[in-house]
Structure 1
């Protein structure tokens, strides 16, 4: 999908900013035939000109999952505006709930990069003076991918919370263990279809991402499972020139290999923090510590 898509928002940002203390408000923007949804939260007395933290959730999730909502509210209390976006997964006006596994999956991992670009352009149109992009889990990888390949004069800082790592061999092993079928066979079939110009062909799969007995297009299969080093967040970091913060949980078992993979990355613009005792989702009091670290790093006050 072209990134030159015309952007139109359905909420008059200037009208919202005219009020005092605001609760979260839904905003939408068009990207081709899709309407993307987001939740805009302005801190008391703040407008877009004070800067916005653009937030991206994790795999097949949504913008109202606990970690995203908690972080948005805590950042609001600290005086920061947030735009908590809901990935479309190629579904028009997708609701804020876990993605229905029974749909025909037409989305790809890298689609998020285009959607982030759409939202960045929307924020520019609304008068935002600066943006920090923040992502959790797979979203953490997607925001770093955006910063590495798209960037923007508007983009000031990058925050990745427990960002995804990637290893093709491990991915194939885990797929076969879970779904009892070699991933290589599925990838070969998907690649053959894509090469023949039939990437939209729907395949019957024993599993797709977190979904069992799923239906997904050949292009979607390649999008999530092809060997692409950009899915491994640490490999993207050297390409990013803006200040970056990575926050990990010491009890995180989802990206347990992240600390080791980051050991070889030495950059002056990279800060790595650990929340002791937190797992992948930074629940309860760990959310407070996470928000403190993010606010200290963003430092727009």
Structure 2
């Protein structure tokens, strides 16, 4: 490695690691749950000047690598941010969801929690809010924006957002678990239809978790064929300007550029493809994201 490259890497590492001490953990109540989030304010900035509301991906948390890294970079750019922890049905949840825990959460739970944190920000005086989501959180952010108009929600950024195709889901489930999805789904759906959605299905493969325990209602919610789960199909339903960010080396959300490109007019919907980035957009790619978010904020005051 050349000395200049090493020096650049050290600067990046310092930048991404700095500022964490200024993060403030905040909480709010939702039903009988305590919800957590990390608030990072840029030096000399107030929430009235604007804030990015950030939603993480599947079974993850608000301080996972991409979320924490983006918050630190946003701080350098003078951008305030709030990275939320979706509860996934657990009070005061932190860190990755443990696959050994019982799954009662639903994909659609995030919509209520995003709305709750949006209102929390407004109660703190926040204005000019950007909603940002990564991976599954990208779909949940897009779904929320498509169904909710709020004068303080000015723009939406979707980083490698989830796409949905039932045939692909069946194929992926079969390849991952060597088990057919449809019979399990039919069994869970029957229990929900009979009013037994709380029934627990043990030793069931679910999302990224092998041989876990999941409620019938939760299983159906995550695996039912719903067009709302396909983010490109939501873009025209969102009134705010939308920035979609894809990575050329993303092997998790494949074909995003191809799906979004026909919808991107460069104004209402903008597509940014970052060469070399995988699904997690590590290191310098975080700055590429921040550049695009900053430009979007400046273009839509």
* TM-score, reference length from structure 2: 0.90
Question: Structure 2: how far apart are the matches of 1:219 and 1:52?
Answer: 35
- Kindly indicate whether residue 209 of structure 2 is the aligned counterpart of residue 211 of structure 1: yes
- Kindly indicate whether residue 71 of structure 2 is the aligned counterpart of residue 69 of structure 1: no
Question: In the alignment, what sits opposite 1:129?
Answer: 127
**What are the residue-to-residue correspondences of 1:39-118 with 2, within 5 Å?**
39-95=38-94, 97-118=95-116
Change (3 A) 1:156 1:22: farther
Question: Structure 2: how far apart are the matches of 1:122 and 1:67?
Answer: 23
**Deviation of the 1:242 alpha carbon:** 0.5
Question: Structure 2: how far apart are the matches of 1:232 and 1:131?
Answer: 24
Question: In the alignment, what sits opposite 1:185?
Answer: 183
Question: In the alignment, what sits opposite 1:3?
Answer: none
C-alpha RMSD of the superposition: 1.5
Question: Structure 2: how far apart are the matches of 1:52 and 1:288?
Answer: 17
**Deviation of the 1:258 alpha carbon:** 0.9
2:149–2:239 contact (8 Å) kept in structure 1: no
Question: Structure 2: how far apart are the matches of 1:57 and 1:286?
Answer: 17
**Deviation of the 1:205 alpha carbon:** 4.0
Deviation string 1:95-154 (CA, Å, 9 cap, x unpaired) is 1x1110001100011111110000011111111122100011111111000000123121
SS in 2 for 1:192: helix
Deviation string 1:193-227 (CA, Å, 9 cap, x unpaired) is 11111111111243100000011001100111000
Question: Structure 2: how far apart are the matches of 1:197 and 1:106?
Answer: 15
1:165–1:257 contact (8 Å) kept in structure 2: no
2:62–2:84 contact (8 Å) kept in structure 1: yes
Question: Structure 2: how far apart are the matches of 1:86 and 1:274?
Answer: 27
Question: Structure 1: how far apart are the matches of 2:179 and 2:247?
Answer: 33
2:248–2:273 contact (8 Å) kept in structure 1: yes
- Kindly indicate whether residue 290 of structure 2 is the aligned counterpart of residue 283 of structure 1: no
Change (3 A) 1:32 1:93: same
SS in 2 for 1:105: coil
Corresponding pairs, count: 280
**Deviation of the 1:260 alpha carbon:** 1.6
* TM-score, reference length from structure 1: 0.90
2:261–2:271 contact (8 Å) kept in structure 1: no
As a proportion of its length, which structure holds more helix? 2
Deviation string 1:150-171 (CA, Å, 9 cap, x unpaired) is 2312100000001111101110
Question: Structure 1: how far apart are the matches of 2:291 and 2:257?
Answer: 21
1:174 is aligned, of 172, 175, 189, to: 172
Farther off after superposition, 256-265 or 270-279:
256-265
1:39–1:85 contact (8 Å) kept in structure 2: yes
Farther off after superposition, 277-286 or 178-187:
178-187
- Where do 4+ consecutive residues of structure 1 move more than 4 Å? none
Question: Structure 2: how far apart are the matches of 1:43 and 1:174?
Answer: 42
SS in 1 for 2:204: strand
**Deviation of the 1:182 alpha carbon:** 1.4
2:244–2:272 contact (8 Å) kept in structure 1: yes
Farther off after superposition, 261-270 or 76-85:
261-270
Unpaired stretches in structure 2, ≥5 consecutive residues:
1-19
**Deviation of the 1:48 alpha carbon:** 1.3
